[in-house]
Amino acid sequence: MSVAMIGGAGYGAYSLVGSSDDPKTPKARTVVAEPPSAELAANGSKAFLDAWASGDLEAAGKLTDDPQAATTALTAFKDKVKPSAMTLATSGPATAAAVAAATSGSPSAPPKATASASAAAPAASTATPPPAGQVMMAFKAKAEFAGTTSTWSYDGFLGVVKMSDGTASVHWAPSVIHPHLAEGETITAQPIFAPPSNMTDRNGKSLASYASLTSMLAGIPKANIAGDPADAGNGVVILDAAGKGTPENLFTITAPKPGKPLKLTIDGALQAAAEKAVLDQSQGGRRKAALVAIEPTTGKILAAANAPATGFNTAFLGATAPGSTMKVITAAALLEGGLSPESPMPCPATTAAGHTIKNDFEEPHPEYTLKDDFTNSCNTAFVIEGKAKLKSGDLADLGAKVFGFGTPWKVGVPNVDAVIPGAGQNPDETADEYYGQGKIKMNPLAMASVAATVKGGVFKQPILIEGLPQIEAPGKLSPDTLTKLRALMSATAHSGTAAGPMGGLKGDIGGKTGTAERAAGQATDSWFTAYRDNLAVAAMVEGGGHGVDAAGPASAAVLAVGNGG
């Protein structure tokens, strides 16, 4: 039992620097390939565990092959987990299968991914990689905590290596503290909350009947969702360095109160409409479709639906070209650059950018203005004017400044952030981006946010759970640009390519169609983004043809329900 003072032959010097014949030139201790004997390994592991258990963490660190990293990590464990007492006892050699099962869940499971540095696992470690000759040892750990009789017991493992001076050292790794702790992770005690008893929409109605939400909401961490501090317990968890992952609960020190319903921002009426819309436009789920609805004034996600309902979450995780819905951002860049809706922008039948770019209509329109090009979705005019007035990286800069792209969003479930390539693209790649092709990647969540930003006038990061932090965009469109961009989207909804689906909708409406090219021989993806009063939507139907054909009717069906609050 590791409660005694450090002892054992060969452990009088803890430094990794040993003596030599000349005291002025110390000889460095290094790990050798030869494994330590069974007795040396047992003594080495016991000495380390004794020092750790007694609280002499500096001495424990010096009994490893990386004293600085070990001492820092052991100190972080003491300060963050705060055990009132530690009991550590060796339990003999460990098999490779036992170590694998403890560190990754099963002997055949892959090792945990390495993250960036944290206090509990410094990235500046200078430890030598473990040689094949290290001897794995097992130990029993027991941590006690003040104010409770709860005792945390677990099996630990460490490797022992032989040093060049004939002594043994523990090979330092974060997993010495706990088998699940990986490089870049932190182990700590923090408030924990019970899983929510169920999830409801913003009006308190159960979401259990919405098939499209079932798999999506499985991504919401069921525990550790912040709640009333009075309901919290306390537990030992492992956190990743970025703070984005779900905490891994290791031990409950004090139990939290039973969970309460978790109210999401979803609106049941809009969710029902969204699920029916994507089901209808996906031909009963035979082709992939997704739709997201957002409240422009708050960023709250009011609906999110996928077809197939239990398949891939295209709404949040999709990453494909958005077609001409991207012209909302390109038009904003051109307007910010000094153009007006009445500025001449001839629309030829074709233009070149490493390949021939065409429009969805064959006849040229030399008389077109920016307004005509936007409302009729002329690709060639946007490419020509973009090449003349913009440069590589301008769309990415505007996307970051105004639309919140470039900084990860934490919406409440896993999501893929939009990609607008920065400066450095060649002229042909940049030209493709002006009409939503090339390397631009979007999903309905991102494009619904674009429409919401235009309607609301300022970016509100989408969220699915009330109270989540929302990043802010560093800027916004000028009032003049915003007025003109809204006018372009309104004209498109009333008399342009979006007029068919949006005909008959009352209120302040605006929209933009998109037809995204895919691989040769594949039908184009149908995209649509629009708003009506305090509701913005975006939809995508894979292989759905033009934006007006499939995504448009899906979006209009949800807009017709409206945001009744």
Does the global pTM surpass 0.75? no
Task: Please check whether residues 484 and 388 belong to one and the same domain.
Answer: yes
- Note the Cα 196 to chain centre separation in Å: 22
Tell me: do 175 and 321 sit in the same domain: no
Q: What is the DSSP letter of 287?
A: S
Same domain, 122 and 238: no
Same domain, 465 and 522: yes
Residue 398 lies in a domain: yes
C-alpha span between 505 and 456 (Å, rounded): 19
Predicted confidence (pLDDT) at residue 5 exceeds the cutoff of 80:
no
Task: Please report which confidence band the pLDDT of residue 307 belongs to, taking 50, 70 and 90 as the band edges.
Answer: very high
Same domain as 351, residue 229: no
Cα separation, 79 vs 57, in Å, equals 12
Same domain, yes or no: 306 and 174: no
Give Cα separations from 225 to 228, 235, 311, 316 (angstroms). Answer: 10, 13, 25, 20
CATH number at residue 412: 3.40.710.10
Whole-number Å distance between alpha carbons of 63 and 73: 14
Q: Which residues are within 8 A (CB) of 565 and not within 5 positions of it... i.e. 6 or more apart?
A: none
pLDDT, tens digit (0-9, with 9 covering 90-100), for 511-536: 999 999 988 889 999 999 999 999 99
> What's the mean pLDDT when you consider all of the chain?
89
Q: Is 5 inside any structural domain? A: no
Question: Where do the H-state alpha helices sit in 207-291?
Answer: 211-217, 268-281
Number of domains, the chain:
3
Close Cβ partners of 244 (under 8 Å, ≥ 6 residues apart):
408, 410
Mean of pLDDT values over 212-237: 81
DSSP H or E segment with residue 502 = helix 499-502
Asked if residue 191 belongs to a domain, the reply is no
- Domain around 135: 17-107+118-183
pLDDT tens profile 54-110: 999 999 999 999 999 999 999 999 999 999 999 999 999 998 889 888 876 433 333
**Torsion, Cα of 115, 120, 121, 126 (10° steps):** 160
Q: Are residues 125 and 237 in the same domain?
A: no
96 and 245 in a common domain: no
Burial class (CB within 10 angstroms; exposed 0-12, middle 13-18, buried 19+) of 332:
buried
Domain final position from 232, 247, 262:
262
Q: Both 353 and 391 in a single domain?
A: yes
- Inside any domain, residue 431: yes
